[in-house]
Amino acid sequence: MDFFHAQDKARAKTKWLVLFFLIAVSLIVGLTYLVTIFMVRFMNEDAITHAPQIPWWSVDIFLGVAVIVSGVILLGSLFKVVSLSRGGGVKVAEMLGGRRVDRAPNDLYEQRLINVVDEMAIASGMPVPKVFVLENEQGINAFAAGSTPNDAVIAVTRGCLEKLNRDELQGVVAHEFSHIFNGDMRLNVKLIGILHGILLIAMIGRIAMYSGGRSRSRESGGFAVLGFALFLIGYIGVFFGNLIKAAVSRQREFLADASAVQYTRNPIGISNALKKIGGFQNSQVRHPEAEEASHMFFGQGIRNFLGLFATHPPIDERIRRIDPRFQGVGKGQAATAVAASGAAMGFGGDGGLSASPKTISDSVGNPLPEHVAYAHQLLAALPEQRLREMREPNGAKAVVYGLLVVPESDPATILHANLQREDDNMKVRVIEQLGWLKRAGRAARLPLIELVTAALQELNPDAVEPFLENVDRLVRADGKMSLFEFTLVSLLRHSLLDQRPQHGKKEWPNFDVLRTDCARLFSLLAYAGHKDPVDIEKGFNAALEYAPLDGPWQMQPKAVLSLEVLDTALRRLGRTAYAFRGRLIEACVAAIAADGKVTVAEAELLRAIGARLDCPVPPLLPGRI
């Protein structure tokens, strides 16, 4: 899967959704006008001749109906879209009755779910999603929701937790991660908002119908008839909305199934999960809001009439594409994906890593089974008690502080001098972390940051700024900032301060501003990977061969490359089209690989840049850099 093309394609589909939405609104306006003019003519009959006094076509009535109906629909849709966008995936999960799972749960089923989600996040280089459980749902189902990978949510039903084994659960979670990588997640949330306005017409009609039915007067009876008509018209709109959802969702489910197999190299896991859904005949989500989100679920979330509004392909067909034995002949699409997956990152026979711009770019949003196995082994190697501690906010803070002082000869003195508004227990807790952090090694540093940021997002908002100020003091304690420290601070700021998604039209500054931003990024990478002036210039020029913009280019002095300047540059570059960001990732790889090698610090920086651009780069595996 081409991550960058898939993301831009999903954005383009939004335009088609808007077009279909406008067609549905026009149809609803026309039908509402016909009902209204009929009722007006009925109410204005001549008492003697019984002839209507109002013609069938009235510009004034039509304009009034058009303004009121379209206004209700558009405002309802706009309100829902903005509401869901501001709340990210959390808003959708809560709308469906979800309960956020504690990062260090006591429930064994939930602990297994957290481990599986963490593994997939580390394997893909994506920020760890927030995890929710639909506690009252016994059907086997799940969904991903959010506007960006940084505010994504993975939610599963209680039935999914209790009826699936670990491999099956991993297949379901990998399926949902695929929806994040290929842009479906953002598209699905927008679809909820767009269709909400149409549903409002049916709700208004229901209210009018019941209100008018309480009186026996002719006017009230007419009002009840009008309400009943609006109720039917609203559901005609819902009819077309469901057709749109079905058209958008069905083929995407096949892709997500195949991607899940590619990530895990375990077709049995997801196919058995689907077989259990078929065997139990139960993937239903019974929450009242499930209709609005039916297109987001792993399995068919609501009942449908003869499959007409099915948002998912038939279970049997999905299984046959994954498990050829289920059909008895042929080979499934997912099996082909498994066979091809080993070449995606360029692993050679000698175990080396081909760190070329194209192979790294192709790996974005395409983690391999090797990455999943690496993430599983990394989590299994961490002390269980320490892993539980870092999954709660104070333990996560202690790990961050520990990572910053673990190389120092006298960490206790540095902590005492620079940790402000933290009690002595925190300082003791940090010292306790240093032993196992040293043993974990340099390659584990970035995955540890990815794990703790999920817990840090649960900090009280008033505690975020003091925490970041402490981090800044520890970074500057020795008067300089290392590549790792830059990486850590950049990721923390992005995770804790840039969580709210951007709204409205994506910012596209003039090309001179973007070119300067790119030049600053390329210059940073050239300085990071090389010391000799000739090699630095070589690294910068290597990036220009893949630059997403034409020149003129000018290398930036090292003195101007402050954290604040680069932070602003990355924020702007993160709002460009995904195709632009794809080229940018390739240019970054070219800059650090110009000397033929990629160090751990360079790999960490590259992956941090990918995270800032919402383009998750999988780990460059230890021993293959």
Main-chain dihedrals φ then ψ at residue 600, nearest 5 degrees: -60, -45
Token couple for 242: 């469901």
Cα–Cα distance, 341 to 178 (Å, whole number): 14
In DSSP notation, 342-395 reads: TTTTTB-TTS-B---HHHHHHHTT---HHHHHHHHHHHHHS-HHHHHHHTSHHH
Alpha helices in 545-623 (DSSP H): 563-573, 578-592, 600-612
Counting beta carbons within 10 angstroms of the beta carbon of residue 69, is it exposed (0 to 12), middle (13 to 18) or buried (19 or more)? buried
Alpha helices in 125-217 (DSSP H): 158-163, 166-181, 184-212
Active-site position among 110, 119, 137, 176: 176
DSSP code, position 575 = T
Cα–Cα distance, 595 to 613 (Å, whole number): 25
Calculated CA dihedral for residues 466, 469, 474, 477, nearest 10 degrees: -130
Active-site residue 176, yes or no? yes
- Determine how many CB atoms are found less than 10 A away from the CB of residue 160: 29
- Residues contacting residue 602 through CB under 8 Å, at least 6 positions apart: 483, 525, 528, 529, 592
End-to-end CA distance of the chain: 24
Using CA atoms, how far residue 314 sits from 174, 274, 304, 319, 321, in Å, is 20, 10, 12, 9, 11
CA nearest to 580, candidates 543, 547, 606, 553: 547
- Residues contacting residue 371 through CB under 8 Å, at least 6 positions apart: 122, 123, 124, 618, 619, 621
Token couple for 166: 């670990």
Cα–Cα distance, 117 to 450 (Å, whole number): 12
CA angle 541, 544, 550 (to 5 degrees): 135
- Residues contacting residue 567 through CB under 8 Å, at least 6 positions apart: 490, 493
R_g of the chain, CA atoms, integer Å: 28
Cα–Cα distance, 196 to 292 (Å, whole number): 7
Residues that are catalytic: 176
